[in-house]
Amino acid sequence: MQVIALLMAMLVGLSGCGLRPSATTVPSISEGSLKPVSGAEGERLVVTSKSFTEQLILGKIAVLIGQASGFDVVDMTNVPGSQPVRNLMVSGQADVFFEYTGTAWLTYLGHETGIPDQHEQWQAVHDEDAQNGLTWGAAAPLNNTYAFAVRAEYADQHGIATLSDMAKVPAADRTLCVESEFNSRTDGLNPMLEVYGLPRGDSNGVPEGNISLMDTGTVYQATADGACDFGEVFTTDGRIQSLNLVVLEDDKQFFPAYNAAPVFGTEFLQRYPELEQRFAEVAVLLNDDTMRGLNYKVDVEGADPSQVAFEWMQEQGFIG
């Protein structure tokens, strides 16, 4: 009765903030390779997430990890906005979610520039966020950061695999499609072109007339259609796969790292330290290609994020 009363009080508090439990639920699971955590039986674990596709999938994966670990999981995924999710964690109303290292570093912790090295960025966030009562678990390989992509046939034709390879293309043919925000960011287009030795507006770099500003949703299709040869993308977007685009390697490590990692309420994790290892077992398999495929199933094929997460967890043997 005490657990029920606490749960109802929490839900009332969240409802007052305009937040509700997730409207979709994951299917029932049976035993797989993930084993219950000592003392988890009958204990509540509140999982949250943001409301865009990738976060919904990661949130449902977190729900399934919690269930497989033996907790009574409260599914509080699909929260609109990054800051409300952050507030749930810092206030102790939620116990775990997947967050991006670059987002925490730049948005929550207030730093002006990111750290391109993925491990260094994770370590910096891990150390600084400890003072906020949060513990960062091991990061997944998936790095949802900015990138440029080209058509697969274009990459083959010109021998392009990295951002440095843009220099192989004549300046007149270096056509770029970018979103307005990226065009003006301090870690966006202009400094990126400088780092790669292709200054904007330079006849030997990227002529101003070669840059097209577009809405985020149109860049992918414009690149696939050949309206531009280089399109700004996010590395784990499912449209990369569906449109047969190739992501160019950021070989000079310009872009900040945005690795996804499970973030735990420190007090909760101190009571159930084994939970960190359960998440680590799953996170290590979440790379860019895997996440693109999962996002594709939702955004392109119209699948439900809960079902996508469940089927992937089953395929990996984590659950039955």
Count up the domains in the chain and report the number: 2
Any domain includes 34: no
Structure tokens at 113: 């520039």
Which of 248, 283, 306 delimits the end of a domain? 248
Residue 179: C-alpha distances to residues 2, 110, 134 (Å) = 51, 23, 33
Any domain includes 28: no
State whether 103 and 188 are in the same domain: no
State whether 54 and 192 are in the same domain: no
Any domain includes 6: no
Residue 158: C-alpha distances to residues 161, 162, 206, 227, 231 (Å) = 9, 11, 17, 17, 16
What angle do helix axes 288-299 and 305-315 make, rounded to 10 degrees?
Answer: 140
Structure tokens at 51: 């409301």
Q: pLDDT tens, 125-184? A: 999 999 999 999 999 999 999 999 999 999 999 999 999 999 999 999 999 999 998 998
Q: What's the whole-model pTM score?
A: 0.87
Which of 198, 214, 248 delimits the end of a domain? 248
Buried b (16+ CB within 10 A) or exposed e, 231-270: bbbbbbbbbbbbbebbbbebeeebbbbbbbbbbbbeebbe
CA atoms of 301 and 177, how far apart (whole Å): 25
CA atoms lying within 13 Å on the CB side of residue 175: 13
Mean pLDDT of the chain: 91
Q: pLDDT tens, 275-309? A: 999 999 999 999 999 999 999 999 999 999 999 99
Reduced 3-state DSSP string for 110-179: CCCCCCCCHHHHHHHHHHHHHHHCEEECCCCCCECCEEEEEEHHHHHHHCCCEHHHHHHCCHHHCCEEEE
Any idea what DSSP says for residue 144?
-
- pLDDT for 245 beyond 70: yes
Print the domain residue range for 243: 146-248
- pLDDT for 8 beyond 70: no
State whether 169 and 130 are in the same domain: no
% of the chain surpassing 70 pLDDT:
93
% of the chain surpassing 90 pLDDT:
85
Residue 76: how many other CB atoms lie within 10 Å: 25
Q: What CATH number does the domain containing 75 carry? A: 3.40.190.10
Any domain includes 20: no
- Looking at mean pLDDT, say which of 5-9, 18-22, 258-262 comes out highest: 258-262
State whether 150 and 232 are in the same domain: yes
State whether 273 and 203 are in the same domain: no
Any domain includes 302: yes
- pLDDT for 23 beyond 90: no
State whether 100 and 236 are in the same domain: no
Any domain includes 168: yes
Any idea what DSSP says for residue 200?
B
Question: How many residues are recorded in the chain?
Answer: 320
Pick from 92, 2, 112: nearest CA to 46: 92
CA atoms of 62 and 276, how far apart (whole Å): 11
State whether 126 and 271 are in the same domain: yes
Which of 213, 248, 283 delimits the end of a domain? 248
Any idea what DSSP says for residue 249?
B
CA atoms of 150 and 152, how far apart (whole Å): 6
Mean pLDDT of 58-68: 98
CA atoms of 95 and 115, how far apart (whole Å): 27
Any domain includes 38: no
State whether 307 and 213 are in the same domain: no
State whether 261 and 138 are in the same domain: yes
What are the backbone dihedrals phi and psi of residue 147, each rounded to the nearest 5 degrees, phi first?
-160, 175
Q: What CATH number does the domain containing 190 carry? A: 3.40.190.120
Any domain includes 125: yes
